[in-house]
Structure 1
Amino acid sequence: MLDLRTIEKRVNKGDVFFISDFTEFGNYEAVRKALQRLTKDGKVKRIAKGVYFLPKIHERLGIICPHAEQIAKAIAKRDKARIIATGSSALNLLGLSTQIPLKLVFLTDGSARNIKVGKQTIQFKKTNPKNLSIEHRLSNLIIQAFKAIGEKNVTQEQIDKIQTIIDQSNERELLYQNLKNAPVWMQKILSR
């Protein structure tokens, strides 16, 4: 029987989980109904169809919801898919933009889909394997950030910020190795 104690033994507060994580306690429909009851009682929160989280409560802020990237990573892990943040998401994650995008776009080799999370939308866009060939997260974020900015729009301030990020990482050599797979114009900017 699926109850809150069973969930708490498996899932940390604030973590994202799915119906399929608990099907050993009953068939899919039974688990769905149990999670529906727990959601109605406020013990579990529903993010989207089949996607839940165990509430983490802050004394001043109340319920702390998982952030969109955490949700996207959990879905990718469940689906055994790779994802890369693109556009304004990559810029925000690198600190090149303070704007939190309402639509987060991730390239994936999994299923293309949109998931509504509150006021935000997480979009998974199917892409070719070449775009996912670099498995290093920071390398991917830098490449996607440059793509979002565009070759003609890159400022010295943005280059300096990315250079600082590279210098502060403990993976500088790996980063530069991975960035050799980036478009030539990005390689020229980074080699300056």
Structure 2
Amino acid sequence: MASLKTRILQLISTMPEGTVLNPKALLHLGNRAAVDQSLSRLARSGNLMRVCQGVYVPPVKTRFGTRPPEIGKTIETLSKMWSETIVPSGGSMANALGLTTQIPIRQVYLTSGPSRNLKFGEMSVELVHAPKWQLVSPNRLSGDVVRALAWMGPQEVEHCLSKARSRLTQEDIDELAEARAIVPEWIAKPVSEMISVG
């Protein structure tokens, strides 16, 4: 019978990029202490990357060496595993929407769960607990606009909203209209004005 380490390596070789391993998902291979020890050893040898306590990802092998998996795919998997909403920060959304030319230095995501730091090799990703209104409409343009506006601040809301208006579909506008119930007044009022103008 193959060793626990060998069986975990075989499992890793079949996993798509962004897949997350945690010890509880491997208890069919051995007891918890043995699984923890094997994962720790595989991380030390470079066969796995330890993202945070109890969470490992297989690195992606390329012809130039190994690299961390795509962060977005891993975050998506973690969001499902932890049953949390995790979305890109307002700063990165403001940049993506062309509302600012500032490029965020740090990788930050907002989460409904606790704040924590993730390590992807040398790269650090910060998960920051955010209020419910900043997590509205995850993975939707309307939600990205809300997060960008929150990051830009009250003084920039009207200017940024008019700049983002051309990208919004009627469905996005309807979602923004629904979000008015939970966003702060300094976002809800300009959204209402934009909708009334049409």
Q: Same fold (TM over 0.5)?
A: yes
Q: Indicate the residue corresponding to 1:147 in structure 2.
A: 150
Aligned to 2:21, the other structure's residue is in SS state: strand
1:189/1:23 CA distance change after superposition, 3 Å = farther
2:170 to 170, 173, 180: 173
CA distance in 2, matches of 1:187, 1:120: 38
- Unaligned regions of 5+ residues in structure 2, if any? 181-187
CA distance in 1, matches of 2:43, 2:26: 15
Q: CA deviation at 1:178?
A: 0.6
Aligned to 1:3, the other structure's residue is in SS state: helix
**Which string of whole-angstrom CA distances, capped at 9 and with x for unpartnered residues, describes residues 137-184 of structure 1?**
322111110111123225857743x34543xxxxx3321211102322
**Which string of whole-angstrom CA distances, capped at 9 and with x for unpartnered residues, describes residues 73-112 of structure 1?**
332211112233333133245454451341514131x3x1
Q: What value does the CA root-mean-square deviation take over the aligned residues? A: 3.0
For residue 36 of structure 1, what is the amino acid of its counterpart?
Answer: S
CA distance in 1, matches of 2:71, 2:95: 12
Q: CA deviation at 1:189?
A: 4.3
CA distance in 1, matches of 2:176, 2:192: 7
Find out whether 1:28 has 2:32 as its counterpart: yes
- Contact 1:46-1:52 at 8 Å conserved across structures: yes
CA distance in 2, matches of 1:77, 1:157: 32
Q: Indicate the residue corresponding to 1:78 in structure 2.
A: 81
CA distance in 2, matches of 1:101, 1:186: 29
Q: Tell me which structure has the larger Cα radius of gyration.
A: 2
| TM-score for both structures, normalised by structure 1 | 0.74
Q: CA deviation at 1:45?
A: 1.9
For residue 12 of structure 2, what is the amino acid of its counterpart?
Answer: I
Q: Indicate the residue corresponding to 2:106 in structure 1.
A: 102
- Contact 1:55-1:64 at 8 Å conserved across structures: yes
- Contact 1:12-1:54 at 8 Å conserved across structures: no
**Which string of whole-angstrom CA distances, capped at 9 and with x for unpartnered residues, describes residues 97-130 of structure 1?**
451341514131x3x12114245341231534x5
Q: Indicate the residue corresponding to 1:169 in structure 2.
A: none
1:186 to 171, 183, 191: 191
Moved more, 75-84 or 180-189: 180-189
Find out whether 1:6 has 2:11 as its counterpart: yes
CA distance in 2, matches of 1:3, 1:107: 30
1:123/1:136 CA distance change after superposition, 3 Å = closer
Percent identical residues: 20
Q: Indicate the residue corresponding to 2:137 in structure 1.
A: 134
Find out whether 1:53 has 2:57 as its counterpart: yes
For residue 173 of structure 2, what is the amino acid of its counterpart?
Answer: Y
Where in structure 1 do 4 or more consecutive aligned residues deviate above 6 Å? none
- Contact 1:146-1:186 at 8 Å conserved across structures: no
1:91/1:31 CA distance change after superposition, 3 Å = farther
